[in-house]
């Protein structure tokens, strides 16, 4: 029997036997995309061709496989300056292109499906801070700098909302952890190579040893990147090692080996950054991870740390690390003599004081988002430190200086919302590997916030990766129990 359809105008029966489908086969889609990418690379000049191909690939992945698109987003963070292209006041980078391709694809899919976007506690808290950052433009002397800071926080919010939505619908763990492992491994190997070969600015040399900075331009941001990667990779590898025989794991030994290797190389690179804030942050983050994973991992970590400490004390590494800590002088007294050894610490304290002075001058909305450097010289009394370093070297002072007490409250509410949701996810998570994801996100959060006491790490698209990690931990149905799924829905 022949199936018939009614033509909308003629209303006559039309036999499908005489009208075969003319749609392209699914196999033609990747072939067409690959052909277009090759033509783009050959025709469009560098670096626009690279950016176009990256954006196109991210858009296609975000349309057909959103978890892989988020993985591309995470991978882009260490190489965000590759193929940088400036057009007037705008600078296009790899991460910028990937993020916007994902946003466009996700938005189009949601509009077609006519599905509303529902915001959870974390999203609403972050939205409140974005609003305050926007309001600070009223007092901002440089609206261009204000707009750049507003964009940075707005993108962090949008990416988090997308990551929550994707995590609640799909299995995001495997592509994300593999992507993060490869990115961390690559950045760490490059940083280690810099130290071995001594390829870097003389200013990065400390007693003849270069500080690793990888692709981030400075050692401290590199340490900050490792802080939002290494604890999660360590937690995933450790949870597999602890639970692999107890029950079916979330992933297998291959992925566990990849994450473990990335964590190990990341710890070596972190040591070579000589970033004291990074050392403290990651050490505490890894300590929290080891304690929460428990069992053999907890006690094994304690033994390994003890052995490392003994071995380091007996080698030149120990005295070098001790010298780095001896240079720390956090006294707020103006009578402290500035020397070559404590110069970096005294400069950081000068930025803290300048930030506090800005809060005193503009207590409610601050001096305007992005305008720290513009007001720094007027708030600095020490002539040695009149050159601003771009931020207050403390996230809480930075936020208060730029957006006032109101902004500090919304920022604290945002960090508190993240902590509350992670603890809630930890209490309800079960299954081998599922708890490891949440534990790793907690370790990342600890490392990030501790390091943020000495630096300002809401830069270089770090917030984009953080949003993906947090969303993966609190919203994925892959490891949140049935009682928690209503909470996950509220985060979407």
pLDDT tens track for 31-74: 565 566 666 666 766 666 777 777 888 888 888 899 999 999 99
Average pLDDT over residues 136-155: 94
pLDDT band at 90 (very low <50, low <70, confident <90, very high): low
- pLDDT band, residue 486 (cuts 50/70/90): very low
151 lies in the same domain as 280: yes
CA 376/CA 397 separation, integer angstroms:
13
Which burial class, exposed, middle or buried, applies to 320 when counting CB atoms under 10 A from its CB (0-12, 13-18, 19+)?
middle
Q: Has residue 111 been placed in a domain? A: yes
Output the pLDDT for position 452.
Answer: 96
Bond prior to 248 in cis (omega within 30° of 0) = no
| 396 within a domain of the structure (yes/no) | yes
Q: Is the pLDDT of residue 323 over 80?
A: no
Of 226, 221, 200, 225, the C-alpha closest to 211 is: 200
Helices (H) and strands (E) counted in the chain, each on its own, are 19, 6
**Whether pLDDT at 121 is above 60:** yes
3-state secondary structure at position 305: helix
On average, the pLDDT of the chain sits at 82
Are 156 and 85 found together in one domain? no
Average pLDDT (9-22) is 47
Specify the pLDDT at position 477: 44
The pLDDT assigned to 43 comes to 73
| Same structural domain, 213 and 284 | yes
Residue 334, SS3 per DSSP: coil
* pTM score of the predicted model: 0.86
pLDDT, mean of residues 8-21:
46
* Domain of 304, in residue numbers: 143-329+391-490
Token output for 160: 């988090």
- Mean pLDDT computed over 410-419: 97
Does one domain contain both 152 and 267?
A: yes
* Mean pLDDT in residue range 400-428: 95
108 and 154 fall within a common domain? no
pLDDT, position 385:
84
The separation between CA 8 and the C-alpha centre of its own chain, rounded to angstroms, equals 52
Among 395, 393, 416, 396, residue whose Cα is nearest residue 405: 396
Looking at residues 323-333, what average pLDDT do you find? 59
Rounded mean pLDDT, 287-313? 80
CA distance 157 to 162: 9
pLDDT mean over 150-175: 91
For residue 16, what is the DSSP state? G
Task: Work out whether the CA dihedral 379, 385, 386, 390 comes out positive or negative.
Answer: negative
User: What gap in Å lies between CA 322 and CA 319, rounded to an integer?
Assistant: 5
Last residue of one domain, picked from the residues 81, 116, 151: 116
The reply to whether 147 and 112 lie within a common domain is: no
Looking at residue 115, its pLDDT comes to 82
Whether residue 200 sits in one domain with residue 85? no
Task: Report yes or no on 10 lying in a domain.
Answer: no
238, 323: one domain = yes
Note the pLDDT of residue 170. Answer: 81
Domain membership flag for residue 257? yes
Measure CA 285 to chain center. Answer: 15
d(CA 291, CA 302): 9
Whether residues 106 and 198 share a domain: the answer is: no
Which residue would you say has higher pLDDT here, 67 or 81? 67
- Of 16 and 166, the structure prediction assigns the larger pLDDT to 166
Lowest mean pLDDT among 1-5, 33-37, 338-342, 394-398: 1-5
Contacts of residue 247, defined as CB under 8 A and 6 or more positions apart, other chains included, come to: 431, 432
Lowest-confidence region among 139-148, 248-257, 457-466 = 248-257
Q: Is residue 133 part of a domain?
A: no
State which of 93-97, 104-108, 240-244 shows the largest mean pLDDT.
104-108
| Encoded tokens for 339 | 């020397």
Q: What whole-number distance in Å separates Cα of residue 136 and Cα of residue 141?
A: 10
Please report which confidence band the pLDDT of residue 123 belongs to, taking 50, 70 and 90 as the band edges.
very high
Instruction: Give φ, ψ of 76 to 5 degrees.
Output: -70, -20
Question: Residues 133, 399: contact at Cβ < 8 Å?
Answer: no
pLDDT value at residue 399: 97
Rg of the chain over all Cα atoms, to the nearest angstrom: 25
Q: Same domain, yes or no, for 174 and 92?
A: no
Is 350 inside any structural domain? Answer: no
Per-residue pLDDT band at 481 (split at 50, 70, 90): very low
Mean pLDDT confidence for 139-166: 94
Ramachandran angles phi, psi of 338, nearest 5°: -85, 125
Q: What is the mean pLDDT of residues 349-369?
A: 94
pLDDT above 90 coverage of the chain, percent: 49
Question: Is 250 part of any domain?
Answer: yes
Domain boundary among 116, 132, 160: 116
Which range scores top for mean pLDDT: 6-20, 127-141, 305-319? 127-141
| Residue 400 domain flag | yes
Same domain, 307 and 168: yes
240 in the same domain as 95: no
Task: Identify the pLDDT of residue 6.
Answer: 47
Give me the mean pLDDT over the 459-470 stretch. Answer: 92
- Between CA 223 and CA 193 the distance in angstroms is 16
Is the pLDDT confidence value at 491 over 80? no
* Cβ-Cβ contacts under 8 Å for 446 (sequence gap 6 or more): 231, 281, 284, 285, 288
Least trusted range by pLDDT, from 138-142, 182-186, 211-215, 243-247: 243-247
With residue 87 as reference, give the H or E element that holds it.
Answer: strand 85-87
Residue 463's pLDDT is 92
pLDDT recorded at residue 25 = 52
Q: Is the pLDDT of residue 108 over 60?
A: yes
**What does the pLDDT read at residue 71?**
93
Reply yes or no on whether the pLDDT at 312 is more than 70: no
Q: How many domains does the chain have?
A: 2
């Amino acid at each position: 029997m022949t199936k018939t359809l009614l033509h909308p105008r003629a209303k006559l029966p039309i036999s499908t036997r005489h009208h075969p489908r003319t749609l392209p086969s699914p196999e033609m889609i990747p072939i067409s995309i690959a052909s277009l990418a090759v033509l783009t690379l050959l025709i469009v000049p560098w670096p626009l061709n690279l950016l176009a191909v990256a954006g196109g690939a991210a858009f296609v992945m975000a349309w057909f496989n959103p978890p892989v698109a988020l993985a591309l987003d995470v991978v882009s963070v260490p190489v965000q300056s590759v193929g940088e292209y400036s057009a007037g006041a705008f600078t296009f980078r790899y991460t910028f292109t990937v993020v916007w391709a994902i946003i466009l694809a996700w938005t189009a899919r949601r509009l077609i499906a006519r599905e509303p976007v529902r915001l959870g506690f974390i999203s609403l808290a972050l939205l409140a801070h974005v609003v305050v950052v926007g309001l600070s433009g009223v007092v901002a002397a440089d609206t261009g700098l204000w707009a750049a800071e507003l964009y940075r926080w707005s993108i962090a919010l949008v990416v988090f909302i997308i990551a929550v939505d994707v995590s609640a619908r799909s299995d995001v763990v495997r592509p994300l952890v593999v992507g993060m492992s490869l990115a961390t491994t690559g950045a760490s190997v490059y940083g280690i190579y810099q130290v071995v070969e001594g390829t870097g600015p003389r200013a990065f040399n400390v007693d003849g040893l270069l500080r690793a900075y990888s692709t981030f331009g400075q050692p401290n941001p590199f340490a900050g990147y490792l802080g939002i990667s290494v604890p999660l990779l360590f937690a995933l590898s450790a949870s597999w090692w602890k639970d692999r025989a107890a029950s079916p794991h979330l992933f297998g030994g291959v992925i566990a080996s990849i994450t473990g290797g990335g964590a190990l190389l990341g710890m070596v690179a972190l040591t070579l950054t000589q970033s004291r804030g990074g050392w403290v942050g990651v050490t505490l983050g890894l300590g929290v991870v080891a304690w929460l994973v428990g069992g053999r991992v907890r006690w094994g970590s304690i033994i390994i740390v003890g052995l490392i400490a003994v071995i380091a004390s007996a080698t030149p590494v120990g005295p070098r690390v001790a010298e780095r800590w001896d240079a720390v002088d956090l006294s707020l007294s103006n009578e402290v003599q500035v020397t070559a050894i404590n110069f970096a610490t005294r400069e950081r304290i000068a930025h803290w004081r300048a930030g506090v002075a800005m809060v005193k001058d503009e207590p409610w909305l601050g001096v305007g988002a992005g305008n720290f450097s513009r007001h720094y010289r007027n708030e600095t009394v020490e002539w040695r430190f009149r050159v601003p370093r771009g931020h207050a070297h403390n996230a809480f002072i930075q936020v208060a200086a730029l957006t006032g007490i109101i902004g500090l409250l919304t920022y604290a509410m945002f960090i508190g919302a993240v902590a509350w949701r992670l603890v809630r996810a930890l209490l309800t998570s079960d299954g081998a590997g599922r708890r490891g994801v949440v534990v790793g996100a907690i370790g990342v959060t600890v490392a990030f916030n501790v390091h943020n006491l000495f630096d300002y790490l809401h830069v270089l698209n770090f917030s984009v990766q953080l949003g993906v990690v947090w969303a993966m931990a609190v919203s994925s149905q892959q490891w949140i129990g049935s009682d928690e799924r209503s909470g996950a829905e509220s985060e979407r």
